[in-house]
C-alpha cells in the first residue's frame, strides 16, 4: 500500500504543469535589443517579436509618434524614490514601477503613494528568480504573492509583468499571459543599477538623450542617484522636443488609465553592431 501511494503521488507531481526537470532542460532567453544611432528606433530578434505578438507583450510604443513610456524596476529602496515621485508629480508625468516582494514589504507607504498619485504599480515577481527554472505553478505563486500584497495595500489589481532578470522562454510567457498579464520589456536601458558606480547627473542625461526615440519604453532603475538627479531636466528637454509622456494603460488600451498625477493624495533593423543584452540584477 505504501509503495502504491508513492507511485500515485509521483504520477500527480509529474502530471500537473511542468516539472522541475522539464523546466531546467528548457532553453532560456535574455531580452536584448540593438540600440540605434541618431535617436532612431531599435529592434530586437524576430523570434521575440513573434512571441510578443502572441503573448501580449510590448517593448515599444508607436514608433511614428513622439510618445514615451517611463518605467522603473524597483527591487529595493535606498532613499531615491521620494525625490523621483516628487519630480514626476511636479512634471505631470506618469510612470510604471515594477516592484518585487521586498519592496512591497519594506516600503508600503511608498507603494501607496505611487498608486495614489496615478502611477502604475506592476509585477516584477516576489523573489526575483529566473523564471525558466521554475515550474508553471511556482511562476504563478511568484506573481500571485506580489499581486495579493499590492491589493491588500491599495485595493488595486495588477495587469503588467516584467520578467525578473529579463529572462524568459515561450513557456514562461504563456504562463504569465494565461494568468492575465501583459509583458512589458523595453527599447531603452543603460547600466544604471550599480549604486557603487554612479557617474553623475550629466552622464545619465547624456545616456538618455542620446538613445531616446519615438515610442520608447524606457527602463530605469529607481536606485540610481544619477537618474534621480537627471530626471527633471530630461523630462523638460524631451517635452521641449515635442515628446509626450504616456501611461502603459494608454499603450495597451486594455485597461482604464489611472488619473495621471492628479496631485491629490489619499490613503488606502539589424546592422553590424551587436545586440545589447540587459539582465536586470
CA distance 221 to 225: 9
CA distance 265 to 155: 15
Catalytic residue status for 102: no
- Helix (H) or strand (E) holding 30, with range, is strand 29-30
Check pLDDT > 50 for residue 44: yes
CA distance 68 to 144: 29
Q: What is the pLDDT of residue 25?
A: 57
Q: What is the pLDDT of residue 23?
A: 52
Catalytic residue status for 73: yes
HEC per residue, 181-203: CEEECCCECCCCCCCCCCCCHHH
- Helix (H) or strand (E) holding 96, with range, is strand 95-99
Q: In the CATH hierarchy, which fold is given to the domain comprising 34-256?
A: TIM Barrel (3.20.20)
Within 8 A by CB and 6+ apart from 73, the residues are 98, 124, 162, 193, 219, 220, 221, 222, 280
Q: What is the pLDDT of residue 254?
A: 75
Within 8 A by CB and 6+ apart from 275, the residues are 32, 33, 34, 44, 45
Contact between 188 and 219 under an 8 Å Cβ cutoff? The reply is: yes
Beta bridge pairs of residue 95:
70
CA distance 7 to 58: 43
Q: What is the pLDDT of residue 170?
A: 98
Question: Of the residues 73, 192, 226, 249, which is catalytic?
Answer: 73
Check pLDDT > 50 for residue 276: no
3-state helix, strand and coil shares in percent for the chain, rounded to the nearest 5: 45, 15, 40
SS3 10: helix
pLDDT tens track for 161-217: 999 999 999 999 999 999 999 999 999 999 999 999 999 999 999 999 999 999 999
Q: For residue 205, how far is the Cα from the chain centroid?
A: 21
Q: What is the pLDDT of residue 38?
A: 87
Check pLDDT > 80 for residue 264: no
Closest CA to 222 of 114, 109, 126: 114
Which of these ranges, 79-83, 127-131, 191-195, 265-269, has the smallest mean pLDDT?
A: 265-269
Question: Of the residues 119, 124, 128, 221, which is catalytic?
Answer: 221
Check pLDDT > 70 for residue 18: no
Place of cell 557603487: 196
The count of C-alpha atoms lying within 13 angstroms of the C-alpha of 67, restricted to the half-sphere facing its C-beta, is: 15
Amino acid at each position: 500500500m505504501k509503495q502504491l501511494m508513492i507511485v500515485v503521488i509521483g504520477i500527480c507531481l509529474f502530471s500537473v504543469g511542468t516539472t522541475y526537470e522539464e523546466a531546467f532542460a528548457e532553453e532560456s532567453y535574455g531580452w536584448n535589443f540593438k540600440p540605434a544611432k541618431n535617436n532612431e528606433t531599435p529592434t530586437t530578434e524576430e523570434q521575440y517579436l513573434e512571441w510578443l505578438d502572441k503573448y501580449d507583450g510590448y517593448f515599444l510604443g508607436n514608433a511614428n509618434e513622439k510618445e514615451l513610456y517611463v518605467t522603473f524596476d524597483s527591487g529595493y529602496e535606498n532613499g531615491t524614490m521620494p525625490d523621483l515621485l516628487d519630480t514626476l508629480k511636479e512634471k505631470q508625468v506618469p510612470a510604471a514601477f515594477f516592484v518585487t516582494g521586498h519592496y512591497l514589504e519594506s516600503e508600503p507607504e511608498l507603494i501607496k503613494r505611487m498608486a495614489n498619485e496615478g502611477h502604475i504599480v506592476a509585477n516584477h515577481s516576489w523573489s526575483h528568480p529566473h523564471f525558466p527554472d521554475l515550474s508553471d505553478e511556482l511562476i504563478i505563486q511568484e506573481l500571485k504573492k506580489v499581486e495579493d500584497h499590492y491589493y491588500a495595500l491599495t485595493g488595486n489589481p495588477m495587469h503588467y509583468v516584467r520578467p525578473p532578470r529579463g529572462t524568459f522562454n515561450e513557456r514562461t510567457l504563456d504562463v504569465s499571459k494565461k494568468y492575465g498579464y501583459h509583458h512589458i520589456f523595453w527599447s531603452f536601458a543603460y547600466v544604471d543599477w550599480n549604486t557603487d558606480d554612479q557617474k553623475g547627473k550629466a552622464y545619465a542625461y547624456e545616456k538618455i538623450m542620446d538613445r531616446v526615440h519615438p515610442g520608447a519604453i524606457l527602463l530605469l532603475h529607481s536606485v540610481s542617484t544619477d537618474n534621480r538627479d537627471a530626471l527633471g531636466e530630461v523630462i523638460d528637454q524631451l517635452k521641449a522636443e515635442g515628446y509626450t509622456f504616456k501611461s502603459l494603460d494608454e499603450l495597451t488600451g486594455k485597461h482604464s488609465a489611472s488619473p495621471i498625477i492628479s496631485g491629490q493624495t489619499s490613503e488606502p533593423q539589424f546592422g553590424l553592431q551587436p545586440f545589447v543584452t540587459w539582465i536586470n540584477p
